[in-house]
């Protein structure tokens, strides 16, 4: 793979604009090459030591395995220099002076170096900003660790009085005074005084002390020479007095805690319980994990950009036959980007602190938590995916052949089958189609580098790919199709005047199997993903008592496209509970309870979204959430009017259904395209789209907008009196319309997440914010 593609593949997607624009610099080099080839320009050979040439040895350049050499080429005389790089201005902007601008074509090279400086200054400014952020976060984590250690000491030894600095005897670990957190003001980049997250307990590992005593003592003397007060031989925990100035924030968010929070706004004080300590440790573990991932990405950003500048200068030397890379890359090495090792030092301290205080000194377990491995694609997944897909296709063919052989379309029992059995199996059809659409969404999100695991908040390394979703959907399809094949009887047994009970119970058995798999606590069939889904479902059902996150409202939006699936579940209850399933007969539509729930189950998804919008309106004070809630309320009215027309008929209900559905369709379509997708921007760089697009073919966006409008209008068939079409039963037509809505939702999913991703890119937001367990009092914060 060429470096340009490798460079793009390893970028942090949300920071793509902050990386060096390698492709634009390559285009400038192509202009230089084209000019030289067209004009046959030759560059005089610079004076070099005997036996050397302008060919670069591989060892003089960086590779992905590391930066191999800091001494590039042989020394040159000052009069042979081709560029001069200097740092100018109060902000330390780097500028390159090209000394050969008088040469033929030199003006193009001047443009190249000007653009190169712009990219380098952009990278340095972004890197400085991110390093400053992690240093501040490290100091905050240090304060949190002080509070956590103090809380541990108090919980383990509750007889200790607060407000003093008494010596506490804890076996081999002793405490004599409060540890010191060093300020970051006036810190020199790459300086040796980085101890933002100090160890706060005495280290008692004998083997480590024997092996590292010499290096620690030298480091201690160096730190003392730089004004540091950290004692390596015996780290000292903070005074328990710190517990007087903090409040704890470890109450898990539950419906009960939300109600209590409304009644009592103040945060609870410390009660020094073990449960409180355990919750605080869990939050600190998550905070350390997220902080460490941020450090890794910043370090990767630094390395990739250094490598990119090395590669582009190598290309420049090769094209121009000059030797300018040595001077420029020396500048890169001496700049903040190349010399600042602040991130590395913080990473070392985070590793040491996390391993000691959260994994009991077990380095392997600690690094396993801090550096989780990405999910590896397994050959068996691909094998079973192909197997299940092939079996599904074979079952579809078998059903088609059986229908044709038995002439089922002209059978007398066809109508009875479509009214009773088809709605039962259509539930699985809706589920399989939705999973297939989501599998396609994941494929295209990955193809266009949409960071969906971060957006959804999936556990790192545990997110499912499109192959896994496709595998699950094909497996469910096999079960459903096998059930249809076993239950494709149209005529009753003439002796019993009923169908076989075993085959008639197959749909109910399939639903039971799916529910058992969903709630199975055993670590099979992607347990973490199943539990994540169940958590989203529970949060949706308890809305608005939970704080609304993107996965919650995104999942609730999926539910609004599965109204017919909820009605199928309701039909299961009525058909097997009060109907005569052996004779395929029921009187559900005659039941007042069934008709009432026919309304309710269709409204529930939209009602959930309305409550979520209300919660976000109250918390975020965002008026757009109020308008979004009104949009869902208009859809609730439209669904209620359409359902009333289906059940009661009458011209008045028809007029109300058409009017409400038209209003809801117009409002929802506008919201989809303009708000959720961010399109139809008149003054954008891409007319009537948006400034940034992930798909280069702009016609795709216009096609998607047209399809969204058409597929939304498909729901109008119920109010226009289109109940049957030739060769299609009424229940089949309802199922087809429901499938069209699922397809529309799949299209909506891709562009909705694309817009969310681009918003994160615009704000360089690549990490989630993790709540910390301790809140310092205002006075204490000011004093610090």
Q: Is 93 helix (H, G, I), strand (E, B) or coil?
A: strand
As a whole number of Å, the end-to-end CA separation of the chain is: 51
**Does residue 650 have a pLDDT over 60?**
yes
Among the listed ranges 50-64, 272-286, 684-698, 720-734, which one has the minimum average pLDDT value? 50-64
**Does residue 608 have a pLDDT over 80?**
yes
Strands 246-248 and 83-88 turn out to be unpaired
Please, which residues have CB within 8 angstroms of residue 91's CB and are 6 or more apart in sequence? none
What's the confidence (pLDDT) of residue 273? Answer: 78
- C-alpha distances (whole Å) from 434 to each of 172, 439, 550 are 60, 9, 19
CA distance 467 to 443: 9
What's the confidence (pLDDT) of residue 475? Answer: 95
CA distance 299 to 125: 15
What's the confidence (pLDDT) of residue 757? Answer: 92
CA distance 148 to 78: 58
569 band by pLDDT with thresholds 50, 70 and 90: very high
What's the confidence (pLDDT) of residue 583? Answer: 86
54 band by pLDDT with thresholds 50, 70 and 90: very low
Which stretch, 379-393, 456-470, 536-550, 743-757, has highest mean pLDDT?
Answer: 743-757
173 band by pLDDT with thresholds 50, 70 and 90: very low
Q: Is 562 helix (H, G, I), strand (E, B) or coil?
A: coil
What's the confidence (pLDDT) of residue 237? Answer: 54
What's the confidence (pLDDT) of residue 158? Answer: 67
What's the confidence (pLDDT) of residue 724? Answer: 58
Give the residue with greater pLDDT, 555 vs 240.
Answer: 555
401 band by pLDDT with thresholds 50, 70 and 90: very high
Check: CB of residue 98 under 8 Å from CB of residue 106. Answer: yes
Q: Scan for tokens 């192509």, then name that residue.
A: 30
Give the residue with greater pLDDT, 756 vs 771.
Answer: 756
Check: CB of residue 108 under 8 Å from CB of residue 39. Answer: no
What's the confidence (pLDDT) of residue 645? Answer: 81
What's the confidence (pLDDT) of residue 195? Answer: 38
What's the confidence (pLDDT) of residue 90? Answer: 60
The mean pLDDT of 246-272, rounded to a whole number, is 66
What's the confidence (pLDDT) of residue 93? Answer: 79
Question: If you average pLDDT over every residue of the chain, what do you get?
Answer: 79
Check: CB of residue 659 under 8 Å from CB of residue 695. Answer: no
264 band by pLDDT with thresholds 50, 70 and 90: low
Model pTM greater than 0.85? no
**Percent of the chain clearing pLDDT 90 (strictly above):** 35
Closest CA to 18 of 131, 118, 122, 132: 122
**Does residue 15 have a pLDDT over 70?**
yes
Which contiguous run of DSSP H or E holds residue 94?
A: strand 93-98
Which contiguous run of DSSP H or E holds residue 345?
A: helix 342-358
**Does residue 412 have a pLDDT over 60?**
yes
pLDDT in tens, 728-748: 788 888 899 999 999 999 999
Rg (C-alpha) for the chain, rounded Å, is: 33
327 band by pLDDT with thresholds 50, 70 and 90: confident
The mean pLDDT of 172-182, rounded to a whole number, is 35
The mean pLDDT of 186-202, rounded to a whole number, is 38
**Does residue 487 have a pLDDT over 90?**
no
Strands 169-170 and 173-174 turn out to be antiparallel
pLDDT in tens, 759-781: 888 777 877 778 888 887 644 44
What's the confidence (pLDDT) of residue 76? Answer: 47
What's the confidence (pLDDT) of residue 175? Answer: 34
The pair of structure tokens assigned to 619 is: 């918390």
What's the confidence (pLDDT) of residue 595? Answer: 87
424 band by pLDDT with thresholds 50, 70 and 90: very high
CA distance 624 to 617: 8
Domain ranges of the chain: 379-762
What's the confidence (pLDDT) of residue 162? Answer: 53
245 band by pLDDT with thresholds 50, 70 and 90: confident
Instruction: Give me the residues paired with residue 63 across strands.
Output: 66
CA distance 326 to 332: 10
Check: CB of residue 175 under 8 Å from CB of residue 164. Answer: no
The mean pLDDT of 621-637, rounded to a whole number, is 92
The mean pLDDT of 694-720, rounded to a whole number, is 86
**Does residue 51 have a pLDDT over 80?**
no
**Does residue 193 have a pLDDT over 50?**
no
What's the confidence (pLDDT) of residue 671? Answer: 95
147 band by pLDDT with thresholds 50, 70 and 90: confident
What's the confidence (pLDDT) of residue 232? Answer: 33
Please, which residues have CB within 8 angstroms of residue 336's CB and are 6 or more apart in sequence? 92, 124, 127, 128, 189
pLDDT in tens, 545-559: 888 999 999 999 999
**Does residue 607 have a pLDDT over 70?**
yes
238 band by pLDDT with thresholds 50, 70 and 90: low
Region class of 325: left (phi > 0), else alpha (psi between -120 and 50), else beta: alpha
pLDDT in tens, 306-324: 999 999 888 888 888 888 8
Among the listed ranges 121-125, 281-285, 371-375, 546-550, which one has the minimum average pLDDT value? 371-375
Calculate the CA 568 to chain-centre distance: 32
Give the residue with greater pLDDT, 392 vs 725.
Answer: 392
Q: What is the DSSP string of 144-200?
A: HHHHHHHHHHHHH-TTSPSS-----EETTEE--S-------TTPPTT-S---SS---
CA distance 580 to 489: 16
**Percent of the chain clearing pLDDT 70 (strictly above):** 77
Instruction: Give me the residues paired with residue 742 across strands.
Output: none
Map 441-472 to HEC letters: HHHHHHHCCCCHHHHHCCCCCCCCCHHHHHHH
At residue 714, φ and ψ (nearest 5 deg) are: -60, -30
CA distance 766 to 374: 17
What's the confidence (pLDDT) of residue 649? Answer: 72
Length of the chain: 784
Calculate the CA 454 to chain-centre distance: 1
């Amino acid at each position: 793979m060429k470096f340009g593609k490798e460079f793009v593949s390893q970028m942090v997607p949300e920071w793509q604009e902050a990386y060096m624009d390698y492709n634009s610099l390559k285009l400038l080099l192509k202009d230089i090459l084209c000019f030289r080839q067209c004009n046959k320009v030759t560059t005089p050979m610079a004076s070099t030591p005997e036996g050397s040439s302008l060919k670069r040895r591989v060892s003089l350049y960086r590779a992905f395995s590391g930066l191999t050499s800091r001494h590039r080429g042989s020394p040159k005389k000052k009069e042979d220099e081709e560029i001069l790089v200097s740092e100018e201005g109060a902000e330390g902007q780097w500028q390159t002076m090209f000394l050969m601008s008088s040469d033929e074509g030199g003006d193009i090279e001047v443009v190249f170096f000007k653009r190169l400086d712009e990219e380098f200054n952009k990278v340095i400014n972004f890197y400085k900003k991110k390093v400053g952020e992690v240093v501040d976060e490290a100091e905050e984590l240090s304060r949190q660790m002080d509070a956590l250690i103090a809380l541990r000491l108090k919980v383990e030894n509750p007889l200790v009085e607060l407000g003093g600095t008494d010596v506490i005897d804890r076996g081999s670990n002793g405490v004599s005074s409060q540890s010191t957190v060093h300020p970051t003001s006036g810190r020199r980049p790459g300086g040796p005084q980085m101890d933002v997250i100090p160890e706060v307990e005495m280290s008692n590992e004998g083997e480590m002390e024997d092996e590292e005593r010499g290096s620690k003592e030298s480091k201690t003397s160096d730190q003392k020479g730089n004004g540091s007060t950290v004692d390596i031989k015996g780290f000292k925990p903070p005074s328990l007095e710190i517990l007087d100035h903090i409040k704890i924030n470890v109450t898990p968010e539950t419906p009960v805690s939300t109600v209590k929070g409304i009644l009592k706004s103040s945060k609870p004080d410390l009660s020094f319980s073990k449960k409180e300590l355990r919750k605080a440790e869990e939050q600190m573990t998550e905070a350390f994990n997220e902080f460490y991932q941020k450090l890794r990405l910043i370090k990767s950003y630094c390395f990739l950009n250094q490598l990119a500048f090395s590669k582009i200068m190598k290309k420049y030397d090769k094209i121009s036959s000059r030797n300018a890379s040595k001077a420029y890359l020396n500048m890169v090495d001496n700049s903040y980007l190349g010399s600042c090792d602040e991130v590395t030092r913080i990473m070392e301290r985070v590793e040491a602190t996390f391993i000691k205080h959260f994994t009991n000194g077990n380095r392997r377990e600690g690094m396993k938590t801090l550096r989780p491995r990405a999910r590896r694609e397994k050959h068996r997944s691909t094998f079973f995916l192909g197997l299940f897909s092939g079996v599904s296709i074979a079952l579809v063919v078998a059903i088609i052949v059986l229908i044709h052989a038995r002439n089922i379309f002209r059978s007398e029992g066809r109508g009875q089958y479509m009214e009773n059995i088809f709605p039962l199996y259509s539930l699985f059809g809706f589920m399989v189609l939705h999973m297939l659409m989501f599998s396609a969404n994941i494929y295209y999100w990955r193809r266009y580098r949409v960071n969906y695991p971060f957006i959804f908040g999936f556990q790192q390394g545990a997110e499912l790919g499109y192959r896994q979703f496709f595998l699950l959907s094909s497996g469910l399809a096999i079960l459903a199709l096998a059930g249809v094949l076993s239950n494709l009887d149209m005529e009753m047994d003439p002796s019993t005047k009923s169908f076989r009970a075993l085959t008639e119970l197959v749909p109910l058995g399939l639903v039971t199997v799916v529910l058992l798999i969903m709630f199975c606590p055993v670590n099979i069939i992607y347990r973490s993903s199943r539990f994540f889904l169940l958590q989203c479902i529970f949060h949706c059902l308890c809305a608005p008592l939970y704080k609304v996150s993107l996965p919650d409202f995104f999942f609730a939006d999926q539910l609004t496209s599965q109204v017919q699936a909820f009605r199928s579940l309701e039909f299961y209850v009525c058909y097997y509970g009060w109907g005569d399933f052996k004779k395929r007969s029921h009187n559900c539509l005659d039941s007042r309870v069934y008709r009432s729930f026919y309304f309710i189950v269709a409204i529930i998804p939209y009602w959930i979204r309305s409550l979520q919008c209300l919660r976000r309106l109250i918390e975020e004070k965002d008026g757009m959430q109020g308008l979004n809630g009104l949009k869902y309320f208009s859809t609730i009215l439209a669904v209620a009017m359409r359902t009333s027309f289906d059940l009661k008929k009458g011209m008045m209900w028809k007029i109300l259904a058409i009017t409400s559905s038209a209003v809801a369709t117009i409002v929802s379509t506008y919201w989809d395209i303009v708000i959720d997708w961010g399109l139809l921007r008149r003054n954008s760089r891409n007319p009537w789209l948006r400034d940034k697009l992930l798909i280069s073919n702009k016609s795709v966006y216009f096609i998607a907008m047209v399809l969204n409008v058409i597929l939304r209008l498909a729901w109008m068939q119920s109010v226009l009196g289109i109940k049957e079409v030739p060769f299609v039963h009424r229940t089949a037509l309802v199922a087809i319309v429901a499938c069209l809505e699922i397809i529309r939702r799949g299209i909506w999913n891709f562009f909705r997440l694309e817009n969310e991703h681009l918003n994160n890119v615009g704000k360089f937001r690549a990490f989630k914010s993790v709540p910390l367990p301790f809140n310092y009092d205002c006075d204490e914060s000011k004093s610090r």
